[in-house]
Structures are given as C-alpha cells and as structure tokens.
Structure 1
Amino acid sequence: MKLYQSLGPNPRVVLMYLAETGVQVDRRFVDIMAAENRQPDFCAKSPLGHTPLLELDDGGCIAESIAICEYLDETRTAHALLGATAEERAQTRMLVRIIDQQAVVPMTLAFRGAEGLPMFQPRMLCLPDAAGDLKRQAASGMAAIDKIVGIGPWIAGDRFSLADILLFSFVEFGAMVGQPLDPALTNLVAWRDRVAARPSAADSANHKQGVAEPA
C-alpha cells in the first residue's frame, strides 16, 4: 500500500491514526501548493484531487481521511480506534459525523472563502461572502461539541478514538487559519491539552514524516 499525503488537517488525521496504531505504509508527499494533486496522473487515482489517498496493493484507491482510517482499522488493527464492539463502532461513527457536520465542514468552507481564497479560488467554488457566517457556524459547532466532551477524558468517554483524532486535527488547523478554539470552552480546552500530550500529536505535525523523497 502507498499513502499519498500532503499539508492539511485531513492528511494529518491519517498520519495521527498511523502514529497511534503503528501501522506501516509506504508514503509519498504530494505538493498541493504547486497543485500536484490537480494533475491528470493524480486525478486518475483521486478524481476530485483530494488528499490523503491510499493506493492498495491491487491498484484500487481510497480517498477521504475517515474512509482510509476505517479501512485500516478494519483490516490492520482489529478495530483499534473505531471500537471493539458494534455499539462502540456505531458510537465512534456517530461522533465523527457530528464533528464533521458541526465543525469540519463550516471551518473548511470558511477557510477556503477567506484566508485560503487565493489558493482555492482558481480550483473550486469558494464562498467569500459567506466566510464570516461560516466561521460563526464553526464556532457554534465547537460550543455544541464542548457539551459532548464534558469532563472526558475523551470524546467517547474513557475510550480514545478516531473522533478525537479528527477533532484535534481540525482544532489545530483552526488555530493556524484564524479560527482558534474559544478559551471559554473549558471542556474542549482541557481535552485539547490531553490529546496534544500524546506522542501521536507531535508525530503527525510533520506532514513529511516518514516520507522518502525521490532522488
């Protein structure tokens, strides 16, 4: 298998999952700043040009960070971060969907319409007029998630899961693109510090970590 990774919070989700589980895959860094992910050879593997992308040994490809992590969790780690039971896996997927809808989607759209507009406007539909409202929507979503987190320690209670990885990757991304975590969300602030203390947080911060650059 080969993982095509790049800058960005979605590739970080997969890198953090790999760091947590110890799963080893070959890796290649894709330069999205230079639009390498928009070139025909890459789009033949990922039609929307999305990173990360996992290329399987048989040539099949899986795009989207959550789908990649779920595939690895089911085939390589015996459900290390989805959950040991059907109920735990359903709970993890529920939390992932809540985080995606409440925070990830509006945060991403806001970034593309504001700080990221020069990069993304030539590549896709962006919503600069809605960027401010989308930032407020993402902040409102974070406040809702703060109530779910409660006293933790993790989003799913005592079980660290893929939901924690997804949310942490985007909380850290938000801090870099004008959408920092509100310090009044004390549950999330404490949770963020707990996740940041895990070795996988530091390991996944370097998006070229583990990549053999071509000669």
Structure 2
Amino acid sequence: MLKKDFLNVREVNEARKHLEKKKMSLVLKRIFDIVASVMLLVLLSPVFFVLFIGIKVEDGGPVFYRQERVTTNGKLFRIFKFRTMVMNADKMGSLVTTQNDSRITKIGSKIRDYRLDEIPQLINVLKGEMSFVGTRPEVLKYVEAYSDEMKTTLLLPAGVTSLSSICFKDEDEMIEKFTSQGENIDDIYINRILPEKMKLNVEYIHSFNFLSDIKIMLLTVISVIK
C-alpha cells in the first residue's frame, strides 16, 4: 500500500492541473476503451480458447497470471495475463523476466514472442483499471522507487501499450546484458531501465490527447507485425 501523501508533490499537482484541461480527450479515451475492449474480447474469443487449452495441457496449472499492480492515483488492482511461466514463478526469482529465463514454459515462450500474454488485459480495460494506452502497470515495489516526476504517470490509468513499451520491447535483452556483468536484476531494472522508460511515460502525460493515443496504438500494431 502506498503512503497517503505519495502523490502529494509539486510535479504531480502541476500535471493534474494540465490534465484537467483535457476533459474531452479523457472522455473519448474512456468511451473508446469500453467499445474497443468489448469488440476485441468477442473477436479474439477463439484465441482465448486455443491458448486456454494449450496452457492447461502443458502443466495443468492456472491459465491466468493475476499479479497485483498499481494504476490511477496509486490504486492497486490485479492484472490479467496469460500465464507464460511455471507456477509460483514470482517466488522463484526476480519480478522482472530475463531473456533466457528458465521459468518460462514452452508454450509461454511462443505466447510471449507474439505478445499474446497481454490479451486478457482487455478485461482490465473494460473494468476501467487500465486503458489501451498508458504507462505499463508496475508492481508496488518498483512504484515505490519512483521519483516525484515519475509519479505523474499515476494520474492516468495504466496502459496495455505506450511509446516506452514499443521502444523497450527488447527490455529482457538489455537486462540480460547487465546480469552477465554480475549486476542484480532488480537493481538493473530500478536504476538503469526504469528511469529511461519513464522519460517517455512522463512526456506522454504532459502531451496527452486522444489523437496521440490512436497514433500510439497504430505504432504498436506495426511493431507487433514487424
């Protein structure tokens, strides 16, 4: 649980005033999230079924991975993801996944290659816990390491995709590079990866508008296809 005054800092208060001027874009963002998530849940239901069977057959464990993350105003929620790692993987190592992580299952490896593990987050989007575009939701441990500027990203719902997600799609390879030099995985993520990712996320907050969300979603589709 975050402290009550966690977001009571100058940077957040200034960003909040900026977003209050974007009411129409915020309304359009939510309407789009509801309509698009319902349509995609229906269209992708066959994919859900195939992955459900594949994950269940491999080891008999749960199909979904439900980890607690942080979203708007520091609120905690449980994210939906297709499980791509062995059961209790978060108790067997770091909260960050590396490139050749031994905890990843066979089918999980294929699912991650095509980013299909993120599809169930459509449920979180429909519930209002997430949006199609926004800062990727982090676990509490990493949010507590946020600088005051990074905290501004918590003024909008966590997102399925973002510019930082596209630019850091090979994040596991970056982490692998530093771990080969003997550095701790969590330290690498907090001190090296997170600050760079959050620069783009902070910029998104200050330049937010609905049309930019559409552009980011199109860039995401192109990135996945490539």
Q: Same fold (TM over 0.5)?
A: no
Q: Which has the higher helix share?
A: 2
- Taking structure 2 as the reference length, the TM-score comes to 0.27
- Taking structure 1 as the reference length, the TM-score comes to 0.28
